[in-house]
Structure 1
Amino acid sequence: METYTNLRAGEKGAYLSIVAYIFLSTLKLIFGYVGDSQALRADGLNNLTDIVASIAVLIGLRISQRPPDDDHQYGHLRAETIASLVAAFVMIYVGIEVLLTAGKSMFSANHSQPDTLTIWVSLFSAVVMYAVYRYNLQLAEKIKSTAVKAAAYDNRSDALVSLATALGIIGAIIGFHSVDTITAFIVGVIILKTAYEILKEAIHLLTDGFDSDVLARVKEEAAQIAQVREVREVRGRQHGNLMLLDVTVAVNPNLSVRRSHEITEEIEQNIQIMHPNALAFVHIEPYDPKEVIICEDDYHF
């Protein structure tokens, strides 16, 4: 099934993020301590949590690939969204820690001057993470994965954080010693902002939130089908990277079962064309007989 093939493809993005974060966090923490930059150390700690978040995404993608069973008739695809939720909570924890550390440092009288090398480490990290972000974003759009998309957003925030860190270090080196600490504080805010965005989307999906525009387009498309008298209800929910749609339409009660079934198939096929990652369930109901205008074309035996 294409859905599970896409999930396996999504693992590449998770593995890439893990490798990049291990390398960069090690690099930043070493040079952050050697070069005496609090902002670079904060950025390194941020990347350590990103490793945990990326592992959570990877585990979620693995669990999502399990086939349906007696307890999970629709499969385990929502494990992917839960992985995004876990990643967000990990980021919130680290963001708060970075803010607390930066807050204490602001009231400290000891301000050191970071080494120039820490600037290049930050800029190099920003370039690497932006490249990882672009790869994961394209992959997420291709396979319709919320977990890989969350990972991509995290990659983007890390690239921005590394760039901000470089600017903060430059400020500290030229004499504005508090800039390094202020930058560390900004890093914490960016981490929390990214975590909030991921958390908001994950909760929206887990509580069966759905794009109303998609529902409106599906309803409009179903209404165009010949002999559909009324589209009574269109509901949708996201199940991992799979879109589940329930459509209820009313037709002439005098139609044959065969023709009614053909109508459901036509609606399902049109939805599949509009949204390849969608699975539609179409329910046929009789139109109010009092309002039925009997037409010769409505009869198929």
Structure 2
Amino acid sequence: MTSRHPSRLLAIWISLISNIALTALKITVGLLFASPVLVADGVHNAGDIIATVAALTSSMVSKKPADEDHPYGHGKAEVVASALVAIILAAAALWIGYQSILSLTEPPESERSLLPLVAAFISLVWKLALYLYTIRVGRAAKSKSVLATAYDHLADVYASLAAVIGIGIAILGDRLDWSWAAYGDPIAGIIVSLLVLKLAYEMGTEAVDILMEHNIPVEKLGAYERLIASLDDIKRIDRVRAREHGHYVIVDVRVGVPSHYTIQQGHDIGREIKRRIMESDPDVVEVLVHLNPWNEGE
């Protein structure tokens, strides 16, 4: 399944190079022109570099086939990377919030340049394009690491949008002599921190659910059960479970078949169950079938 979507590695490489460039741009401009929200956003981007490297590494590891030590494959490597991205996002959100609150206690700069606004706007457009690109690739490849990278770009879109608004208000306040507008920059930073923290929580919750082997949606389980029940030889469905294993799904089925069936008949039933489920859902890469004896009158 992973070989069908080589573009996911390209998406992560593009994200990595973009994050390096944007980090340098925002931190440099933010420090030179004393823009707290731009500096904080640049630090956030620095964390993104670490997250993107983790996503790139995990994406390469997850492509490895199953082996003796990892019989179910390496798909959860991407989930681990997704959890790491969530942690980095949460840390970045706290950093942005702290720096913004600190800026509220300091006197505002007397003059502001348009360059921080230009840098923030470039970041906004760039990150929006990256988000749209990586979310499309991530969904097509069912790649948790690429999706995590996409949501990381989305957090940056929020941050850059808030920076554009905050810096824009501060510059407008300078022109119109609005004293309160001087604090638009740090207030925008606080708003950004809350948005990024919310995104980190949602990503982290999803990653933990997968690592804890939370069952897939009941709608999918119901579809599997209907496929199994349509087979004439199936007399009872004892259990159907499924779990995400990164970018693919593993299904566990227990069914009752007539107790007088031969091993060959049971084998054929198991293969048919596996074939039907895998053909109906391309995300499924393995179906484990256990047959229980069924007797007339049960």
Identify the residue that residue 191 of structure 2 maps to in structure 1: 186
**AA of the residue aligned to 1:183:** A
- Please state how far the C-alpha of 1:7 moved relative to its aligned partner: 6.9
1:6 Cα deviation from its structure 2 partner: 4.9
Deviation at 1:270, TM superposition (A): 1.4
- Which stretch shows the higher mean deviation, 168-177 or 64-73? 64-73
Matching residue of 1:118: 116
Alignment correspondent of 1:253: 259
Alignment CA distance shift 1:206-1:236 (3 Å): same
Letter in 2 for 1:128: W
- Between the aligned partners of 1:153 and 1:113, the Cα distance in structure 2 is 35
Task: Give 1:205-216 correspondences, 5 Å limit.
Answer: 205-211=210-216, 212-216=218-222
Q: Provide the residue aligned with 2:229 in structure 1.
A: 223
Query: Structure 1's 113 and 196: CA in aligned 2 closer, same or farther, altered over 3 A?
Result: farther
- The reply on whether 1:285 has 2:298 as its aligned counterpart is no
C-alpha separation between the residues in 2 aligned to 1:208 and 1:7? 25
- Deviation of the 1:189 alpha carbon: 1.6
SS of residue in 2 equivalent to 1:233? strand
Question: 2:279 aligned with 1:273, yes or no?
Answer: yes
Shift in alpha-carbon separation, 1:172–1:283, aligned structure 2, 3 A:
same
The code of the aligned residue for 1:181 comes to P
Cα 1:151/1:6, change in 2 over 3 Å: farther
Give CA deviations for 1:78-125 in whole Å, capped at 9, x if unaligned.
Answer: 111111111111222221111111111112234444312222221221
Counterpart of 1:148, as a letter, is V
Q: Is 1:203 paired with 2:201?
A: no
Q: Give the whole-Å Cα distance in 2 for the aligned partners of 1:75 and 1:36.
A: 49
The one-letter amino acid paired with 2:162 is A
1:178-211 deviation line (CA, Å, top 9, x unaligned): 1111011112222212211111111010000122
Aligned-pair identity in percent equals: 30
Query: Does the residue aligned with 1:177 lie in a helix, a strand or coil?
Result: helix
1: CA distance between counterparts of 2:78 and 2:6?
A: 12
List aligned pairs for 1:148-159, cutoff 5 A: 148-159=146-157
Residue 268 of structure 2 is matched in structure 1 by: 262
Aligned length in residues: 289
Which structure 2 residues correspond to residues 60-75 of structure 1 after superposition, within 5 A? 60-75=58-73
Secondary structure of the corresponding residue to residue 86 of structure 2:
helix
When normalised by structure 2's length, the TM-score is 0.91
Give the gaps of 5 or more residues in structure 1.
Answer: 292-301
Q: 1:169 to 1:113 in 2, by over 3 A?
A: farther
Q: Indicate if the aligned counterparts of 1:229 and 1:249 stay in contact, CA closer than 8 A.
A: yes
Contact 1:251–1:287 (CA<8 Å) still a contact in 2? yes
How does 1:133-148 map onto structure 2 within 5 Å? Answer: 133-148=131-146
| Secondary structure of 2:231's aligned partner | coil
Partner residue, 1:55 = 53
More moved, 87-96 vs 172-181: 87-96
Match of 2:177 in 1: none
- AA aligned to 1:120 is V
CA separation in 1, counterparts of 2:64 and 2:272?
A: 30
Alignment of 1:99-118 (within 5 A): 99-118=97-116
Moved more, 102-111 or 78-87: 102-111
In structure 2, the residue corresponding to 1:174 is in which secondary structure? helix
Where in structure 2 are there 5+ consecutive unaligned residues?
Answer: 174-180
